[in-house]
Amino acid sequence: MNYQETLQYLYSQLPVYQNVGGSAYKEGLDNSLALDKYFNHPHKKYKTIHIAGTNGKGSTSHLLAAILQQAGHKVGLYTSPHLVDFRERIRVNGNKISQDYVVDFVANHKSHFEPIHPSFFELTMMMAFCYFEEQEVDIAVIEVGLGGRLDSTNIITPELSVITNISLDHTQFLGDTLEKIAKEKAGIIKPYIPVVIGEAEGEVRKVFEEKAQSVNAPIIFAEDENWIYAADKLDNGSWLFQTNAFPNLKGELGGLPQIKNAATVLSSIDALRKRGIHTTIQSVYSGFAMVTELTGLMGRWQIIQQENPKVICDTGHNVGGIKYVSEQLLSETYNRLHIVIGMVNDKDISHVLELLPKEAIYYFTKAHIARALNEKELAQKGSALKLIGNTFESVESAVKAALANTQSDDLVFIGGSNFVVAEALECF
């Protein structure tokens, strides 16, 4: 099989969550442990950092990888889902895994892993772990796929665990309250391994405190550390953070969530330093300032087109993420707002739509995946909440219509799901 045939095999033979949703979710670690045994525990050959949370996992993972890379470490980065290219999931010092490695990995090991019946995510994770071993990385940043306790990545023993925040998402698997979801995310907290919590209050905070205490894990709440005492938005959408340790720290990633993500990252870097993992002041500055160049991160309040009209996309897709998107849109200056939106069918659609601005012109669409909610059904739900617009059978047609309907001082926002953003990026 060549590379494209190998990808087709992975997508067609193994259950892929991003395509089919719940039927691809395999609860438990049995498959991961079986794969891990076959491949001789590759993740034990290098240090790891484990990152969970409802929102902000991707930004936090990429920022940590960029900083460690700038400090001179050889850094593996495993994230999901990808936006445009499968190889985005597995990187070393920002460079995507080679097509040849993907082809050879499947060809050489297919007869061994097929009897295990792994999911797409389980096998992709093990591919990453083996690639990082071959590449002799010093440390790998591993992003949880879904939840924590029963996520396939939870076979690692990291130097540091990080939980960014808790919001209602994947409730059919993780529970229908914040406390239940927090308990699942808290499953990555390991005995004696420090954990940084980005954002938590009330009962959610109590869940993390009790779990950490039960396994003697030092727990750090980034909000209590007061890392950032001022944050100013710059003209290009990036941030200028003021911290006692890092004055005038420029954060390249735009969007309101990046203030809390930045505090989480600074707390994490401090915790890693205490574990003997070296970083420098300059590596923090350059990692924050150049994260997209260093890691290839896309879709986080990304300005795709600067003007005539300005076009922004963001991968926020649940209540927690869309809440910040809506707040950010209020801070933008424009004549008319155009929103290209599509969602998947297992999200809390109505509560997400409730948060969106009613004065915008909407372009309801769907991505080319089986989980995509039909654009007409999405439009009906939007109409019930006074969100008015037209429907489009493809993201490309929705983007083209939005651009054709704008004046130079309008703003186009594209979002609702990772998959809509992925297809929109290809339009530009």
C-alpha torsion sign, points 259, 264, 265, 270: positive
Bridge-partner residues for 25, per DSSP? none
Domain ranges of the chain: 3-295, 302-427
Which residues are bridge partners to 414 per DSSP? Answer: 313, 340
Cα gap 153→32, rounded to integer Å: 8
Nearest alpha-carbon partner for 342 in 309, 312, 308, 376: 376
Q: Is it the case that residue 335 has pLDDT exceeding 80?
A: yes
β-strand partners of 411: 310, 337
Please check whether residue 76 is in contact with residue 135, taking contact to mean a CB–CB distance below 8 angstroms.
yes
326 within 8 A of 413, measured Cβ to Cβ: no
Q: Which of 375, 407, 408 lies closest to 392 in space, CA to CA?
A: 375
Taking CA atoms, 404 is separated from 179, 209, 248, 338, 351, in Å, by 46, 52, 40, 11, 30
The answer to whether the CB of 75 falls within 8 A of the CB of 139 is: yes
Please say if the pLDDT value at position 114 is more than 70: yes
User: Could you tell me which CATH class the domain 3-295 is placed in?
Assistant: alpha beta
Q: What is the pTM for the complete model shown?
A: 0.91
Q: Round the average pLDDT of the chain to a whole number and report it.
A: 92
Read off the pLDDT of each residue in 366-381 and give the average, rounded to a whole number: 93
Report the share of the chain in percent with pLDDT over 70. Answer: 94
The CA-atom distances, in angstroms, between 179 and each of 165, 167, 196, 275 are 12, 10, 18, 30
Average pLDDT on 361-373 reads 93
User: What residue type is 384 in one-letter code?
Assistant: A
Whether 16 has a pLDDT exceeding 80, the answer reads no
Q: Which of 21-35, 181-195, 245-259 has the lowest mean pLDDT?
A: 21-35
Confidence of residue 22 (pLDDT cuts 50, 70, 90): very low
Q: Classify residue 261 by burial, with Cβ atoms within 10 Å: 0-12, 13-18, 19+.
A: buried
225-237 pLDDT tens trace = 999 999 998 888 8
Q: How confident is the model at residue 345 (pLDDT cuts 50, 70, 90)?
A: confident
Beta bridge partners of 312: 303, 413
- The β-bridge relationship of strands 361-364 and 389-391 is parallel
DSSP 3-state of 56: coil
The architecture CATH gives domain 302-427: Alpha-Beta Complex (3.90)
Report, as an integer, the average pLDDT of 186-213.
Answer: 96
The 10s digit of each residue's pLDDT in 269-298 is: 999 999 999 999 999 999 999 999 999 999
**Tokens matching residue 128:** 């990453």
**Angstrom distances, CA of residue 342 to CA of 234, 370, 419:** 29, 13, 8
Each residue's pLDDT tens digit, 306-319: 999 999 999 887 88
Gap between the Cα atoms of 133 and 72, Å rounded: 18
